[in-house]
Structure 1
Amino acid sequence: MASAPVGTLIGALPRNGPGKTDIIVETIFLALDFVSVGLRLWSRHLQRMRLQINDILIIAALTILTARYAIEVSLVLECGLGLHAEEVAEIGGPDMVILFRKLVFVIDLMWLTLVTLIKTSILHFYLVIFRQTVFVRVVYLVLGLVIAFYIAAFFSDVFFCIPPEKSWLPDTPGHCGDSSTIYIALASTDLTIDIIVILLPMPILWGLQLPTPRKVALTFVFGLGFIIIAITSVRIRFFSNLDPLDITYTFSEIALLSSLVPLLGIINACLPVLAPAFKRIFNSSLLSSTVKKSDNTGSSSNKFHRLNEPELPLVNMNSPYNRHNASDAAGHISVTTDWEVHSIQASDTHINDIEMNK
């Protein structure tokens, strides 16, 4: 393998600590994202289910995330992300700093699209498994908030400078907004939406009649986003440290944290769907058959009915036995799968796991 030419920014990589850290961490988590999405698709296959809208949104997010990863690697290797702008200009020339600003402009827009796709996927998943009328209305309200924020943030980024090319060509006639103020405002709003999305299902999960360990497991599955919230909170702090005159170095403090948000977001969105794959791999039912569709239209009457679309088929409708000879064969029937009885009340949802062995 030929060594990098002396005088290029690739040759400066050994002393570019922030750049190397960025590439290593993003590569590891991107690999985990591919594993998570692969397990998600396998789980759907095990459930004999077609891909849902939330699955398609996650696949789209992973595709965009991969493209963003390639651009960010180019930022490090070709444009000197992590090095001081003075060194980048000295080694690569002034045009290299301009290219850096262009690529940052692109990955910012890709980041907004990514986090919106992930949040939309999570919210759609909520709509699929939780059917309480009030909850559904709240989810649609939050979904509208997510889309409205995306539109506002996208155009705020695009037209941060007028004309837009002034973002990467500072000498272009025109004007730009206050970068720190706008970035902090957008990041704070995004953080608030993240908190709402993560907290939405918690009251329902803890209202289920399940053993505490299973509730804790479900809380972890649905609540991994709290780590993302912590990262976003730290990320906001660094926006005030951005220096337009040393953008290649000061942006490196934000680049990794920004990348971790969608990288972890995809894992967070996939975890609640992975129970069938985990059960097949680890032969564990801790996360299996715990969260299913629940229909609650607010009726005041108590009803018992079989849950719609269970994770695994519970009955073989093509059984060779009919009701005339079922009693004769009763001694040979062994039911080993989990059954669930769903009790619907006006104000609460109860799910009881009943294991029958005959």
Structure 2
Amino acid sequence: MPDSSSAGASGAMSQLPPHTEWYEHARAVWPVALAIVFEAFAVTAVALRIWSLRLSRKQKLADHDWAILVALLFSTGLVVLLILATVMGGLGQHAALLSDPAVQLVNFGKIYVANSPVWGAAISAVKISILLLYIKIFAINRTFRIICWIILGLQSAWFVGVTLSGMLYCRPLAFAWNPTIPGGKCGNATQAYLSAHIINLLLDIAVALAPVPILAKLRLKKAKKIEITGIFALGIIICVITIARIILIKDLVPLDTTYTSSHIFFFTILEPLLGIILACLPVLRPAMSQITSVFTGTRKSLLNDTDYTNDSKPRTIGSTRKYSPIAGGLDRSDSLTRPINDTGSFNMDALEQPDKAHEGKIIHITSTWDVERR
């Protein structure tokens, strides 16, 4: 006669749902799908950034461009880790229902440990790129540059701290995915998580709001000032994501981390990917102007979107002096830079004219040039 306890265990086992593949679990599928979508957006934003650099006639990447490429590299690494955690580690599934928990939980533990320093590198590279761009844009303001370098130093120190914390959290490190190791122990996961994310949130706020006081003092049209301020202030979105990750820690169940940590994994990826997109927005104007001109059927001069007074190298074409009356007698016919037989807006600053009375003015040219090659 079968034992009653055995019958009860058999009944409990029969109540468990049959094993299913990872792609049959919504909590496993949607983080992967959305991560791939945002990865595509981030790659597109960086590609447009490089294209804008070419349109601006700049010959090499600046330091903030290299930093955003590093951010994209590590963010892509986060997407790969998410996919591996889902396919090989059972992310998004209940631990009790894994097909091979002995293998899957070990894989999940290893990926979970690797995720922390990769995330730290990705989000740090994003903020460093933004800070380096600030330093370039507002180079004339010494106090602001110092503030940016201080924040940059704090961000670098934070990255070192997060990396060391992830590597030293468990001793030996293998105890994080193999709790059967004799004498192994781990620290307080909640305290380590909260301290890293709260400091990261403070740094997010500092980076997002740092340029706002300077932008408020710029002599720009109100609409333009709101536009520029809005682009930089979009960093507040990153702060919201960080707050969401801090809140989600309360939902983490230690005995079922494969299921309860899926949201945290996704927001870990969303933070740097969205940061890359927002960091690219301020420098995409040349590329967006070209794309807009394709859809509107117009050819727009890049002089409005290009800083020719720095390291750009415009080509020179000869011209008649028929523009002298418009420019107040200015005779610079040997150094005007324009596409041949084109119409559009002409920025007076690109001429580097000595007459400051015309500085910042715009001349609308509708005449055809007489060209001679030299």
* TM-score over 0.5 for the pair: yes
1:36-47 correspondence runs (5 A):
36-47=45-56
Amino acid at match of 2:71: A
Other-structure match for 2:310: 309
2:252 corresponds to 1:251: no
Measured after TM superposition, the shift of residue 291 of structure 1 is: 10
State the aligned residue count: 318
Identity percentage of aligned residues: 29
Amino acid at match of 1:121: S
Within 2, Cα distance between the matches of 1:216 and 1:124? 22
Other-structure match for 2:109: 101
SS in 1 for 2:93: coil
2:161 corresponds to 1:152: yes
2:228 corresponds to 1:222: no
Amino acid at match of 2:241: I
Within 2, Cα distance between the matches of 1:308 and 1:140? 26
What TM-score comes out, normalization by structure 2 length?
0.77
Measured after TM superposition, the shift of residue 46 of structure 1 is: 0.4
Work out whether residues 286 and 306 of structure 2, in 8 Å CA contact, stay in contact via their aligned partners in 1.
Answer: no
Q: 1:39 to 1:8 in 2, by over 3 A?
A: farther
Within 2, Cα distance between the matches of 1:148 and 1:327? 55
Amino acid at match of 1:69: V
2:287 corresponds to 1:281: no
Q: Which of these residues, 211, 216, 223, is aligned with residue 213 of structure 1?
A: 223
What TM-score comes out, normalization by structure 1 length?
0.80
Measured after TM superposition, the shift of residue 99 of structure 1 is: 0.8
Amino acid at match of 1:207: K
Other-structure match for 2:142: 133
SS in 2 for 1:94: helix
Measured after TM superposition, the shift of residue 171 of structure 1 is: 2.3
SS in 2 for 1:240: helix
1:259-278 correspondence runs (5 A):
259-278=269-288
1:31-180 correspondence runs (5 A):
31-49=40-58, 50-88=60-98, 91-131=99-139, 132-172=141-181, 173-180=183-190
Within 2, Cα distance between the matches of 1:264 and 1:176? 32
Q: 1:327 to 1:118 in 2, by over 3 A?
A: closer
Q: Which runs of 5+ in 1 are unaligned?
A: 1-6, 293-306, 342-351
Within 2, Cα distance between the matches of 1:335 and 1:270? 26
Measured after TM superposition, the shift of residue 335 of structure 1 is: 8.3
Q: Which of these residues, 337, 359, 362, is aligned with residue 355 of structure 1?
A: 362
CA displacement, residues 108-129 of structure 1 (integer Å, 9 cap, x when unaligned): 2110110011111111111111
CA displacement, residues 303-329 of structure 1 (integer Å, 9 cap, x when unaligned): xxxx9428x77x76564679x997697
Work out whether residues 19 and 97 of structure 2, in 8 Å CA contact, stay in contact via their aligned partners in 1.
Answer: no
RMSD of Structure 2 on Structure 1 (CA)? 3.1
Within 2, Cα distance between the matches of 1:328 and 1:39? 34
Name the stretch that deviates more: 186-195 or 120-129: 120-129
2:245 corresponds to 1:235: yes
Within 2, Cα distance between the matches of 1:143 and 1:329? 46
Within 1, Cα distance between the matches of 2:190 and 2:252? 7
Higher strand share: 1
Within 2, Cα distance between the matches of 1:25 and 1:258? 12
If you compute each CA radius of gyration, which structure gives the higher value, 1 or 2? 2
Amino acid at match of 1:354: K
Name the stretch that deviates more: 186-195 or 196-205: 196-205
Work out whether residues 109 and 157 of structure 1, in 8 Å CA contact, stay in contact via their aligned partners in 2.
Answer: yes
Measured after TM superposition, the shift of residue 190 of structure 1 is: 0.2
SS in 2 for 1:356: strand
Name the stretch that deviates more: 245-254 or 185-194: 245-254
Other-structure match for 2:369: none
Work out whether residues 78 and 115 of structure 2, in 8 Å CA contact, stay in contact via their aligned partners in 1.
Answer: yes
Q: 1:153 to 1:328 in 2, by over 3 A?
A: closer
Amino acid at match of 1:129: I
Amino acid at match of 2:243: S
Other-structure match for 2:212: 202
Work out whether residues 52 and 285 of structure 2, in 8 Å CA contact, stay in contact via their aligned partners in 1.
Answer: yes
Within 2, Cα distance between the matches of 1:167 and 1:308? 55
